[in-house]
Amino acid sequence: MRNRINRMKTYRMQEQASSAKLIFIGLRLVSVKVLNRYRKTQELRVIKKDSVPQDAAGKGKRMLTGKVALVTGAGRGIGREIAKTLARDGAFVVVNYNGSKERAEEVVSEIGAKHAVAVRCDVSDFAACGEMVNGIVKEYGHLDILVNNAGITRDGLIMKMSEEDFDAVVATNLKGAFHTIRHASRTFLKQRAGRIINISSVSGVMGNAGQANYSASKAGIIGLTKSVARELASRGITCNAVAPGFIETEMTDVMTDAAKEAVMSQIPLQRTGKTTDIAELVAFLASDRASYITGQVISVDGGMHM
């Protein structure tokens, strides 16, 4: 009888010990889960706190670190934003200007004098473009990104358009891009690398009444882009065009309210574009992330052209 009682006691003690063990294992599992969740939250916090653009290799470098970029017409408007965005992403930027010296110098001081320089050059001048491009390569050793942004308008109905207004627009908007590409292509070919981004326009894609000269120059940019893309692709050089719609700059400020309203009615996204809308795409096209994109015309126009 006593033996039976003892056996029962031992059995109960064993039972208690194993349930205590189970509770202990359960508690450990719960605490490991809680700890893991806490660690994950901490990691997320760290990533958010130190979020810098990563380069393609993900080593913490910014996506354009070490690149030298030339942006034409970068003292104001879209070009200014492009220059600042490329610099934000790590590039050294040559801020080209023609008439806006002070504003170009302002861009350089905003970026930081170690990371940018202002260079005057009228892009409609073939020889001056050669001096600018060769000067950059001589001074900095290479040129990696060329953004042809400089542009003007001389709007008017075709019946009244002067030859001078037609020529001036084509000389800056189309020939200007030819000049810089022509001079930079030698360096790009030697480097077996290079990014060319030409700023076209929705007017070049669709045409626009009152802008025959401007639309012709911007459509010409598209033909230039596709031909250069085909010619230089085998050496790893890409050439693309960006076609902005209605972007708020001094170029569009001069439009009458009626003209602005007429354009607005054609924008499915029902807002005007910002210079940042263009600059972010240009920065992407300039990066290694866009290495398989060439000969394209990418519209940034709120859906005006689709």
Question: Can you give the binding site for ligand NAP, defined by CB under 6 A?
Answer: 72-73, 75-79, 96-100, 122-124, 149-152, 172, 199, 201, 244, 246-247, 249-252
Shortest distance, CB of residue 123 to ligand NAP, whole angstroms?
Answer: 4
Task: Give CA torsion, residues 163, 175, 147, 238, to 10 deg.
Answer: 130
What is the closest distance, in whole angstroms, from the C-beta atom of residue 139 to ligand NAP in the complex? 19
Residues 6+ apart with CB under 8 A from 54: 60, 61, 62, 63
Between 124 and 187, name the residue whose CB sits nearer to ligand NAP.
124
91 vs 123 by CB, closer to ligand NAP: 123
- The distance of closest approach from Cβ of residue 42 to ligand NAP in the complex, given in angstroms and rounded to an integer, is 44
* Tokens 């992407």, residue located: 284
| Alpha carbons 176 and 179: distance in angstroms, whole number | 5
Between the alpha carbon of residue 272 and those of residues 204, 206, 263, 300, the distances in Å are 18, 18, 9, 11
Distance of CA 242 to the CA centre of its chain: 10
H helix intervals, 50-125? 77-88, 101-111
In this complex, which beta carbon is closest to ligand NAP, that of residue 55 or of residue 224?
224
- Taking the complex as a whole, the smallest distance from the CB of residue 121 to ligand NAP amounts, in Å, to 6
Type of residue numbered 31: S
Considering the candidates 97, 140, 214, 292, report the single residue annotated as catalytic: 214
Q: Please say if 11 is a catalytic residue.
A: no
Q: Which backbone phi and psi does 73 adopt, to 5 degrees?
A: 60, 50
Q: Between residues 275 and 287, which has the closer beta carbon with respect to ligand NAP?
A: 275
Q: Which residues are designated catalytic?
A: 214
